[in-house]
Every structure is written in structure tokens, then in C-alpha cells.
Structure 1
Amino acid sequence: MKKTLIAAAFATFFAGQALAAPQTYVIDSSHTFPRFSYNHMGMSKQILRFNKTTGTVVLDKAAKDAKVDVTIDTTTIDTGFEAFDGHIQGADFLDTAKFPTATFKSTKVVFEGDKPASIEGDLTIKGITKPVTLTVTSFFNGPHPMLKKEAVGANATTVIKRSDFGAGKYAPAVGDEVTLDIALEAVVK
């Protein structure tokens, strides 16, 4: 009887450990769209997006820890106007011929309660890496309503200066401050 209780206690302990293990989620490229906006010569706020993003999110709910690793295909810039897509991909801005991707790799995720509130990390654009902090404006973790798999979803935002990444052509007439807004969804492997 005593051996059975000890065995049950160990089994419960290790089962709890398994449930608390970090989960890896793969980014759903059909529902993950980094967008950016900037002031265009004082006339309007332009909003553009990238159409292909890959990466992973690792979430350890028990430890209140996470890691985010995102790669943006900068050749998929979508301005809504093909000629302008090419202009933004040029050497004065994203220089996608030399730098076809931008990346974000988290270094620290700050939780408030059970949800991430901010994500600190390194943003690399045109081969230039700068630290940024993303503010998480919404977060979801639970079963995906259609796929019936564990999923995460989030929106996060930050402001950068494009000149810090070698893309400051026409500043200040075309705003140097760029607001990044990332909509992300990922599903467990």
C-alpha cells in the first residue's frame, strides 16, 4: 500500500512536470502580418504590410516565460501599388536584393499575471540590429476554434526610427518614426 502511494505521488509529480513543459508554436503565415505606418509628407498616415512571415513562439505558462523568433520576408512588402512595392524594396529603403529578410528575436518577455505585457528583443533590418520593446496589446492562448489544436495569438506594437536601420531617405519630409504593429497567430507543432 505504501509503495503504491509513493508511486502515485511520483507519477503525479512527473505528470505535472510534463504539463508545465514549454510549448512550441509555429507561426501561421496566413494570419500573421507585420504592418508599419509612417507620416507621408504631413498629408497622410501610410499603412503597409508584409505578406510572408515565419517563425516560432515558445511559451512556458508555468514559468511565465516565452521566446519569440520571427523572420519577415521583406520581398513581400504590400503597399497596394506594385511600382511602390519596388520602390520600398530598393537600396534607399529595405534593399531587399541584399537583405531579403528582417528578423526579431526576443531576449526577455515580461508578464503581468498570466499574460505577456511586453517583449524585449533584437530587431534586424538591412543587417543592422537594434534593441526594441514591443508592447503587447492583446494576447490569446487556448484551443484554436477551427484547428482544435493549442494556439497563441497576439498583437504587439513599437515605434522605431527608420534612419537607425539605414532606411532614412527623404526624412523628415517622409516621417522617420515608423510604428510597427504585428498581428501574430501560431499553432502548436
Structure 2
Amino acid sequence: MKKALFALTLAAAAAGATAATYNVDAHHANARFSIDHFNTSTNVGGFYGLTGKVEFDAAKRQGSAKIVIPVNSLQSSSSDFTKHLLSADLFNAAQFPEIRFESTKFNFAGKKVTSVDGRLTMMGKTHPVRLKANKFNCYQSPMKKTEVCGGDFSTTIDRTKWGVNYLVNAGMTKNVKLDIQIEAVKQ
């Protein structure tokens, strides 16, 4: 009896020591971009309906994330501009229907998530990025009746590393600001 109770206690402790799994809530997740348009204005757009999984263990200060961004969910200021963004000139949605982010490390200052390092795959090319955590929190959702974790993240990338070279030779900037919002529901 003592052995069985001891084994059960160890199993419960081990289960509590592992990271929790969270599914990305597509209604509370998006990836938006902004790019300077010849020092005149800023072009913006966003992707919606993101999916993926997050593993998070606040006590151990560890986490991981795998996020899928559907390129055809792109929205911009007009249907014509969106159509051009989806074309082979820019995101080439026909050939590359997904953008992916896979984390390699969650970075902390004390108990606070400060950034997430990872690999961004777009247009068939993968490069490292660091997403700054502008805010991050976990809370007990009164609507979902479970824990939700998420935050707002940002970074700036050189789009030419992923082969998005449209109008660079004409003087348009290579730098694109990304703002990513993720909320994920504990499973």
C-alpha cells in the first residue's frame, strides 16, 4: 500500500512539473506588418486565423511555441492591394501558403518573459528572429474557464533575407516591422 501511494505521489509530482500545453486561439491571434513607403506613408497589413501550440512552464522559466500563419488570411487597405501582396511579387501565396515561427528559447528577466528567440520560415527560407515581448501574461479566463497565456510581441526584419525584394532596387526599404499578438488556451 505504501509503495502504491508513493508511486502515485511521484507520478502526480512529475505531472505537475511538466510544462502545460496551450492551443493558439485563432480569434485572439494575428500577425501585422508595417513598412515605410518611400518616406511618404506606411503600408500595413495583417494575417489572421493563426494556429499552433505553446508549451509554457512559468516555474521553470521555459517555453516553446510553434505558430502557423495562413498567408491567404491577409487583409490590407483594399482588395486590390491585398491581391498584389498575395502575388508572386511579394508573399507568393500560391507557392508558399504558410509562414511559420518555431521558437528556440523563451528569455526571462526574473519571472517575466522578455523575448522569444526562434526561426521564421517564409517563402521557403528560414532565418532566426527575436520577438520582443511588449507584454506577456497568464490569467484565468472567465469565458473559457481555463488558463490563457499570451502577449504582444514585435520585431523588425530585413525582408530580403526571405526573398521579398519587390521595389528594393527602386529605393523602398528592406525593413519591415512585425507586431504579433498571441493568446493560447490551456488544454
Q: Which amino acid aligns with 1:178?
A: V
1:19 Cα shift? 2.4
Aligned counterpart, 1:174: 172
- 1:23-172 paired onto structure 2 within 5 Å: 23-171=20-168
Supply the distance in 1 between the matched residues of 2:159 and 2:58 (Cα, whole angstroms): 34
- Paired with 1:100 and 1:108, the residues of 2 have a C-alpha distance of 26
Secondary structure of residue in 2 paired with 1:84: helix
CA RMSD of the aligned region, Å?
1.9
Whole-Å separation in 2 of the counterparts to 1:165 and 1:98: 14
* Counterpart amino acid of residue 37 in structure 1: S
1:15 CA displacement: 3.7
Contact 1:111–1:118 (Cα < 8 Å) also in 2: yes
Alpha-carbon shift at residue 80 of structure 1 (Å): 2.6
Distance, in Å, in 1 between the alignment partners of 2:119 and 2:97 is 17
1:34-65 Cα offsets, whole Å, 9 max, x none, are 01111011111222100221101100222211
Distance 2:133 2:164 in 1: 26
CA–CA distance in structure 2, aligned partners of residues 139 and 12 of structure 1: 32
Q: Counterparts of 2:173 and 2:74 in 1: how far apart (Å)?
A: 18
Match for 1:125: what amino acid?
Answer: M
Q: Is the 8 A contact 1:33 1:51 kept in 2?
A: yes
Q: TM-score, normalised by structure 2?
A: 0.91
- Paired with 1:143 and 1:174, the residues of 2 have a C-alpha distance of 45
Aligned equivalents of 2:139 and 2:16: distance in 1? 14
SS in structure 2 at match of 1:78? coil
2:183 is matched with 185
Distance, in Å, in 1 between the alignment partners of 2:37 and 2:150 is: 30
CA contact (8 A) 1:40 1:175 kept: yes
Residues 150-178 of structure 1 show CA distances to partners (whole Å, capped at 9, x for unaligned) of: 11011111110111111111126332100
1:127 Cα offset (Å) = 0.3
CA contact (8 A) 2:44 2:77 kept: no
Identity %: 33
Counterpart CA distance in 2 for 1:188 and 1:28 is 10
Deviation at 1:23, TM superposition (A): 0.6
Q: Any gaps of 5 or more consecutive residues in structure 2? A: none
With normalisation by structure 1, the TM-score equals 0.90
